[in-house]
Amino acid sequence: MTVDSGSGRSERDRQFHEFVADRRGRMLHTARLLTAGDGHLAEDLVQTALTKLYVSWAAFRRSEQPDAYVKRALFNALMDERRRIWRRFERTVADVPERPGSTAADTDPALAAALRELPPRMRAAVVFRFVLDMDVADTAVALGCSAGTVKSQTARALEKLRTALENFPELQHQGVSR
């Protein structure tokens, strides 16, 4: 580990700092989508993912697919968070955070509510495929599953969303229609 004598920071720390400055906003946006708009949980997921990325920084730097590595870290943080027993009893309050950019899931309460009803893996498949415009193979890498699993999870999720949103025709043009 090389230490910069002027600041006392290692090269690893400098690289990680640059990574966070460049990617944190996008990570937070993805986390908000994965949590169906829960800004507080999204912040927690990003912090957890960044902590794990820092610890495994060398492996991340060697990764052939760093974007998939980051998305996988966020997804794993979500799954770990959902497994916590105390989480079942916690209730969040509706606090609308300031958002630099938005998607239909960010701004439409009906779509956010429908996404919230999906299991985390299905929600992640839909977010990665349709909001982040990832292909099936990249989504499979990010979720740590096969392409077939991505396709089946996506198909089931879209069917659930269609059913949940059939009373909201204004969303039909946003890619959730049949």
How far apart CA 150 and CA 148 sit, in angstroms, is 5
Q: Measured at the alpha carbon of residue 52, what is the angle toward residues 37 and 93, in degrees to the nearest 5?
A: 25
How far apart CA 139 and CA 145 sit, in angstroms, is 8
Q: What is the pLDDT of residue 97?
A: 46
* Arithmetic mean of pLDDT, 163-171: 66
The answer to whether the CB of 144 falls within 8 A of the CB of 158 is no
Mean pLDDT of the chain: 80
Name residues whose C-beta falls within 8 Å of residue 143's C-beta, 6 or more positions apart in sequence.
72, 75, 121, 124, 125, 128, 149, 150
* Arithmetic mean of pLDDT, 65-79: 91
The DSSP letter of residue 3 is B
> Cα–Cα distances in Å, from 43 out to 37, 122, 147?
11, 21, 29
Encode pLDDT of 121-150 as tens digits. 899 899 888 888 888 988 988 888 999 999
The DSSP letter of residue 5 is T
Q: Which pLDDT band holds residue 114 (cuts at 50, 70, 90)?
A: confident
Name residues whose C-beta falls within 8 Å of residue 28's C-beta, 6 or more positions apart in sequence.
42, 43, 46
Select from 3.40.710.10, 1.10.645.10, 3.20.20.105, 1.20.140.160 the CATH code of 11-174. Answer: 1.20.140.160
Q: Looking at the whole model, is its pTM more than 0.75? A: no
Q: Residue 107 pLDDT more than 80?
A: no
The DSSP letter of residue 83 is H
Domain ranges (residues) in the chain: 11-174
Among 140, 90, 150, 111, CA closest to 33: 111
Residue, of 70 and 36, whose pLDDT is higher:
70
Burial class (CB in 10 A: 0-12, 13-18, 19+), 96: exposed
